[in-house]
Amino acid sequence: MSLRAKFAQFERFGTDWRRLLARGLVMLFVGAVLAVAALFNPDAVLMYARGFSWLPAAALMLLAVGLLEGFDAIIAKEQRDFFMHLQNGVLDVVVGGVIVLGINFDPARVSLLIAAFLMIKGILRTIVAQATQLPHKTSTMVGAGMSFLLGLLILGQLQSPAGWFLAACLSAEIAFRGWALMMFAFWLRTQKRRESAG
């Protein structure tokens, strides 16, 4: 049995609404906690990185989310799901990794990367939400719009972005994605109940 066939056995696990709900809840909680921490304790020092506030923790969370997206790509049954999860996972892993590797320098060095990341995520999620026309797209659209707006705010402060502001924006994006994932999980639960009832 090939490795791909072994991973395909987990496909049902990948679309289980309980797993998606738990993942969304963790993302919402951790993202919100990190955003609040960045706002109320902007001078925090993590991983010996002065001036970055909670940005290393947000980058590690982004890295974890990207790895989970990669796992979702591996267990995807449909080719379109594979490519959607793969591109999301690769983008999250690369950006999270670059931020973690760049914490020995000035926060301004990663500000353009974070701004571009937030705007790209916002645009991609808006396009996917419009193209799929799923009934739960409002939460995705709101989160995508906020991500894009946060990216623009970082661009506005490009000369001297504070580490706490970068950490708060990246953490808020993770929280918004978690909220959208939770709404998707609730919608999926409703669909599965209708299928079992009918």
Q: Find the mean pLDDT for residues 161-166.
A: 86
- Give percent above pLDDT 90 in the chain: 41
Q: Is residue 142 part of a domain?
A: yes
Global confidence as pTM: 0.85
Q: What's the rounded Cα separation, in Å, for the pair 168 and 134?
A: 29
Read off the tokens for 11: 């496909």
Q: Which residues contact 146 (CB under 8 A, 6 or more apart)?
A: 122, 172, 173, 176
Read off the tokens for 100: 């973690």
Domain containing 37 equals 13-188
For the chain, what is the domain count? 1
Q: Is residue 21 part of a domain?
A: yes
pLDDT digits (tens, 9 = 90+) for 108-157: 788 899 999 999 999 988 888 888 776 678 888 888 999 999 999 998 87
Would you state the pLDDT for residue 24? 94
Q: Is residue 1 part of a domain?
A: no
Q: Is residue 196 part of a domain?
A: no
Q: Is residue 108 part of a domain?
A: yes
pLDDT digits (tens, 9 = 90+) for 4-27: 454 444 444 456 889 889 999 999
